[in-house]
Amino acid sequence: MTTLFTGRESLRVRGERATFVLTLCSLPVTVLLLGWLLQHQVSWQEIVLLLLGAMIYVSFARGRLLGGGLRIHAGQFGHVHVVVDDCARMMRMPTPHVFIRDDPFVPVVGIGIGDPYAIVISAQYVEHFQPDELRFLIGRELGHIASGHTRFTSLLSSNGRENGVIAVAFGAWLRRIDYTADRIGLLCCGSLDAAMRAIAVSAFGSVGRRVDLGAFAGQLKELHAEPSLRMAEWTASTPYATNRIAALHRFARDPLYQTWAQRFAQNAGAPPVGESHERVYASFWRRMGAFFVDVLVIQTLVPAAQALQTKLTFTDVDMKKLAADPNTPAWLNGVLHALGGGHTRVTFNNDTLLWLAFGVYAIVLVALIGQTFGMMVLDLRVIRANHDPRVGFARSIARYVSLVAGMIVFIGWFTMFRRIQPYEKWSRTRLVSGSAAIR
C-alpha cells in the first residue's frame, strides 16, 4: 500500500534521509569543532547524558501541558479541534492531543517521541490565523509526527525554539524536513495563497497581513544574486521564508501534488482513524539492535559512575572526623560505629557496574516513558499485555527480574526468535513497534 512517506510517490523531499545519515556521521567532527570554538572539550558521556535527560524531559511534556496548558476539544476552541480532526482524517492517522499554551515565539509545534503525540498552539497566535492558514500550519505538524520527525526534533528542542548549537549541528536536516512538512501543510489546506499567508503571519505576527507576498517572494532574486547572503541560512534550523515559498510554488506545479491532492480529498469523507490496540511485535533483530545501542549508552555512563564512586570513598580518617563533629546526626554515628572504623571502601568491577547500571537505566526509562534510548532509535516500546502504554515501575521491575531469572535457569534460550518471549508472558509486558500499529 502506498503511504505518505515511502515508495516512489513519497512526499519526503529528496535527500532528507541521506542528509540525516550524513548529519549523524559528521556529528563527531561537529562536536569537536564546537568544543574548540567554545573552549570546552565535549565528551561523549556528556552527549549521552544530555540525550537521556532530554528523553525524560519530553516524557514529562504531557503532564506539563495538562497542568499548564489548555486542552482543545469539541466544546473548547472547537474550530481548532475540527481543523486538526479533518487534517488527521485526510492523512489517515489518529488525531493527536492538541493544547494551547502561552508562547510568544513558536506559533505551532508538534512534539512527542511516541504515543501520545501532541500539537501545541501559541495562545498569542491562535486568533491571528484564519481557518485555511491554520490548516496549513497544523498539517505541517501532523506531517512531522507522521513522518517520525518529532521523535528526534523533540529531543533537540521540546518546545520548538531555535538553539544556535543545535542549528549548527543538525541544521541541514532540520531545514530539509521543514520542506517536507510544508508539502503536507499545502495538501491539507489546498491553497497556495493560504500557505504563503500562514508563513508570513508566523514570521511577522499580525504585520504579516500587510505583507505584499509577491514582493516578499521576489526578495529571493537578491539572495541568488549574491551567494554570500545565503550563507546565514546554514546556521539556522529553519529555511528562509522566501525559500519555503519558492519550494511550495514548485511543489504545487509537480504532478505529485495533484496525485496526493486527489487522495487527500477522497480521505476527507472517510471515518476518523482511531488508535489500534493490535501491534506489530518486535522481531529478534530489532530487539538485538536496541540492546546493543543501549549497551553503548551504558558504556559511556559507567566511567562517570566510576568517577563518582572514587569521590564517595571514605577512609578511617574521614569517618573519625564525622564521628567527632557535634553536628553529625545520631543515626549516622550509629552507622559509623557499626562499620568499626578502618579503611572502608565499596568497589565494583567493570562488568558488575555495567550490568547494574544497565538494570537501573532500563527499569527507570521503561517505567517512565516505555522506552530506552535503543528502543527509541529502533522504534520500539514496551506496553502491558492488555495494551496499556503505562508500564509503571512494578511491571518494569517484573520484566527485567523475569528476564534475568529466565537466563539463569536457561529458559527461553531456544525461543529467542519468538515475538513474545517467556519473560514477557511472566511479567505481562510486550515489546512492540512504536508506530506501526496495524489498521
Secondary structure (DSSP) of 348-417: --HHHHHHHHHHHHHHHHHHHHS--HHHHHTTEEEEETTS-S--HHHHHHHHHHHHHHHHHTT-SGGGTT
Q: Is the pLDDT of residue 187 over 60?
A: yes
Q: Which residue has the cell 574521614?
A: 318
Which residues are CB-contacts of 96 (< 8 A; sequence separation ≥ 6)? 84, 88, 110, 112, 116, 117, 118, 119, 142, 145
- d(CA 77, CA 100) in angstroms, rounded, equals 10
Between 180-194, 224-238, 251-265, 340-354, the lowest mean confidence (pLDDT) is in 340-354
Q: Which amino acid is at 269?
A: G
* Three-state secondary structure call for residue 27: helix
- d(CA 86, CA 95) in angstroms, rounded, equals 9
Q: Which residue has better confidence, 325 or 22?
A: 22
Using a pLDDT cut of 70, give the percent of the chain over it. Answer: 72
Q: Which residues pair with 344 in a beta bridge?
A: 314
Taking the CB of residue 268, how many other CB atoms lie within 10 A of it?
13
Rounded to 5°, the CA angle 307-313-317 comes to 145
Task: Return the closest-CA partner of residue 428 out of 412, 30, 397.
Answer: 397
The alpha carbon of 104 is separated from its chain's Cα centroid by a whole number of angstroms, namely: 22
Q: Which domains are seen in the chain, by residue range?
A: 16-267 (3.30.2010.10), 284-433 (no CATH)
Residues 125-180 have pLDDT tens digits of 888 888 999 999 999 999 999 998 988 888 787 655 666 677 778 888 999 999 99
Question: What is the average per-residue pLDDT within 40-47?
Answer: 65
Residues 238-274 have pLDDT tens digits of 888 888 999 999 999 999 999 999 999 999 888 877 6
- d(CA 159, CA 153) in angstroms, rounded, equals 9
- d(CA 438, CA 275) in angstroms, rounded, equals 10
Question: What is the average per-residue pLDDT within 61-76?
Answer: 80
Q: Which three cell numbers stand for residue 368?
A: 517512565
DSSP line for 157-225:
-TT----HHHHHHHHHHHHHHHHHHHHHHHHHH--HHHHHHHHHHHHHGGGGGG--HHHHHHHHHHHHH
Which residues are CB-contacts of 403 (< 8 A; sequence separation ≥ 6)? 421, 423
Rounded to 5°, the CA angle 80-197-240 comes to 115
Q: Which residue has the cell 566511567?
A: 303
Can you count the helices (H) and strands (E) in the chain?
A: 19, 6
C-alpha to C-alpha distances, 350 to 45, 299, 305, 388, nearest whole angstrom = 16, 10, 10, 36
Residues 381-412 have pLDDT tens digits of 899 988 888 899 999 999 999 888 877 766 55
- d(CA 363, CA 429) in angstroms, rounded, equals 13
Task: Quote the pLDDT of residue 91.
Answer: 93
pTM as predicted: 0.71
Q: Which amino acid is at 18?
A: A
Task: Quote the pLDDT of residue 252.
Answer: 94
* Three-state secondary structure call for residue 313: coil
- d(CA 29, CA 24) in angstroms, rounded, equals 10
